[in-house]
A and B are shown apart, each in its own frame.
Chain A
Amino acid sequence: MAEVKKVLLNKEGLHARPAGTLAKAAAGFKSKIELQFNQKKVNAKSSLSLMTLGLAHNSEFTILADGEDSEQALKALADLVDKEFKI
C-alpha cells in the first residue's frame, strides 16, 4: 500500500472532464486505486465516484494505491494532478 498527498490546482474544482481523465488514467493500472478526501474514500477508476467527492480548488486529498504497479500508478496520477489533467 502506497499513498501520496496532493492539492487540486484546477480552479474550477474536479469537474467532469478532469474526473474523467483521472478515472481513465487510473483504469490503466492493475492496482486498486482510491482517492480520499474529508473522510470519504472512493474508487479512483470511477469518474462518477470522483465527482461526488466535491473536490474544489486547493482541496488537499490523498491518492492510495495497492498492487504490483502501485508506485508507477501514484507517480503517473500525481503528475496528472500537477498538470491540471491536461494531457
Chain B
Amino acid sequence: MISAASTKVFKGTTVSKGIARGPIYFKKELNLTNGWAVRGSVTDEQNRYNKAVDLSRTDLNQLIASMDVSHSEGRDVIEAHIQLLEDPEVQDQVFAKIENGFSAIEAYSTVVEDFRNLFAQLDDEYMKQRVHDLDDVSKRVLFYIANPNETYENISLTQPSILVSDDLSPSQLLGLDKSKVLGVVLKHGSTQSHTSILCRSLEIPCIVRAAIDIDDRESKIIGFLDSIAGDLYLNPDPQIEAKLESKRKSYINELSLLQSFKNMATKTKSGRLVPLGANISGPQDVESVLKNDAELVGLYRTEFLFLDRTKAPTEDEQFEVYKKVFEGLPNKRIILRTLDIGGDKVISYLDLEKEENPFLGVRGIRLCLKYKELFKDQLRAILRASVYASDLGIMFPMVSTLEEITDSKKLLDEVKKELRLKNIPYNEKIEIGVMMEVPSLGFMLKEVAQEVTFISIGTNDLFQYSNACDRMNADLGSISSPNHIGFLRFLKFIIEESHKYGLHVGVCGSIAHHPQIMPFLIECGVDDLSMTAQHVLEARKAIASLN
C-alpha cells in the first residue's frame, strides 16, 4: 500500500465525488461501559431507561431544529429515528425484561440484539441496511442509560477536516457543522446507507469500504481524499501532493465552468440555438431538470407508471402524476410519450402473449391500439392534466404506418369530445408527434407531415432496427457502435426530409450527447436534443465551442 516513503494510499468505493485536502480527524469510539454494573430496583431501572429515551428524544429534536429547512432528506431520517426510539414493541420488551430482573442496559441491549438478528435474516439489501438506523438510535440510548448526566457527542471538529471512521451514523453526520466536513472516509458502510445518501445530497466527498488502518491516531496527519478515484492519501509526498492539487483545481474549474453555463440558452459559436432537453420518467426527475437547467423535456417516458403492479393505474392516478410534472416545470416545452411497452415486459393485468420476437411484435402504439380502453384512460388523464402545461406535445411510440397515426388521433379526438360534453377543460394547443424509430417511417415523412407537427428520433431503437443489432448484446463489440457511416447518413436523410416537409425534428436517444455524433447532428440541422439531465451542462459547453 505504500507508494512513496511516507505516503499511504487506501482504496475505497466512491459514494460521492469530489477532491478534498485537509487534516484527518479520526473518530474515537464511545465508552459505553460506565455504569454497566450498577443495578437498581425494577422502578429504578425502568426510570433509567425512560430518562435515556427522553434525553435521546431531546437531542434528536434539537438536531431537527438546527437543520436547514430545505434539508428535507435529513429531517426525514431523524424523524424516522425518533419513531424507532419510541417504538412500542421495543419499550414493551424492555419493560418486561426489567421486570424479570434485567438491568436497563442489559434489557435494552438484548432487545436491540434480537431485532438486529431479525434484520440480518431479511433478503432485501436495503432493509438490511436499516439496522444501521437502529444502531444509531440504540448507541445514543445506551450511552444515556450509562451516563445520564453527560452529553452524547463524540465528534468535535475544531477545524475543517476529513473525517475517518469505522462507521458513521446519519445523526452523527447531521450533527456536524457541514462547513467543517471536507470529506468522509469509512472503513465499513455501504453506498446505499442513509449516511451515503446524505453525503451525496450534501455534496460531501465520500468513500466507503476503505481498507483503512486507523491505528495511527497521531494528530497532524494531512489527508488528500480523491473520492472520484476512490483513494485516500495520508501524508502525501510533495510530488503526489502537487499532482492531486492540480487534479483538484481542474475538477473545481470544471465544476464552476459548467455552472457558468447555467441560465443561458444553448448555442453554437455562430449563434445558432440548439435547445437541450432532459429525458424524464416522472415527478421524481423534475428537480434534476431544473438543477441541470434543461431547456425542455424532450422525452417524458410514461411507462414506469404501468410497470410492477397488479392493476393498471387509474385515470385519476395518472392525472395526478402528469399534473405534478407539468406544474413542476412551468413554461417548459414537454414532449410526453404515450405508453411504450411490449411483450418483453411482464404486465400481469394485460395478459400479453409470449412472443418469439418481442422487439418486432405488439409494442408501443401497436399495443395501445389493441388495448383501446387502457390507451383512452391515458389520453384522458393527459388531456385533463394538460391545462397545467403551457407547451405540451403528445408523441406516439413505435409508429410504422400512417393508419396508426390517424387511428391514434381519432381516439384522441373521441376523448376530447367526451371531455367537452362533460365540460372538463383541456389545453387546446397540444401538438402531436411521433417517435421516429421504425426505419421505413423515415421514407414516409412527406405523408407523416400531413398528420403531425414534430418527430423525435429514438436513436436507440432506430439503430437496432436499421443495423440488425441488439445494443445490449456485448458480443457484438464494435458492430454495435452507432458511429456507423450508413446509420449516420440515414440520420442526415431523416433530418433533411423532416425540414423539407416542415416537421420539427429532435433526437432523444443516447447518441444525443455522444461527443462525435452530437456535432454531426447539429451540422445536419437537428432542431433540439434531449438526454439525461446530468449531461445537459456538459453538452451545452461542448456546443458552445462548435461553429
Residues of A at the B interface (CB closer than 8 Å) are 7, 9, 11-13, 15-17, 20, 23-24, 27, 42-43, 45-49, 51-52, 54, 56-58
Contact = CB atoms under 8 A, between A and B. Distances in A.
B308 A52 contact: no
Contacts of B89: 42-43, 45-46, 48-49
Given A17-B80, A47-B83, A51-B119, 7 more contacts: A7-B310, A20-B80, A43-B89, A45-B88, A48-B87, A51-B127, A56-B124
B308 A54 contact: no
Contacts of A17: 76, 80
Contacts of B310: 7, 9, 58
State the 8 A-B residue pairs at the shortest beta-carbon distance, nearest first. A46-B89, A52-B118, A11-B308, A49-B89, A43-B89, A48-B87, A54-B122, A45-B88
Interface residues of B, number: 24
Main secondary structure of the interface of B (DSSP, over half): helix
A51 B126 CA distance: 11
Contacts of A13: 124, 127
B127 A23 contact: no
Contacts of B309: 9, 11
B133 interface: yes
B123 A54 contact: yes
A58 B310 CA distance: 8
7 contacts: A11-B309, A16-B127, A20-B80, A23-B83, A47-B83, A52-B115, A54-B121
Interface in B48-100: 76, 80, 83-84, 87-90, 92
Nearest to B137: A48
Contact of A57 (B76, B115, B308): B308
Contact of A12 (B76, B126, B130, B134): B126
A70 B23 CA distance: 59
Contact of A16 (B87, B115, B118, B130): B130
A43 B80 CA distance: 18
A42 B84 CA distance: 15
A52 B87 contact: no
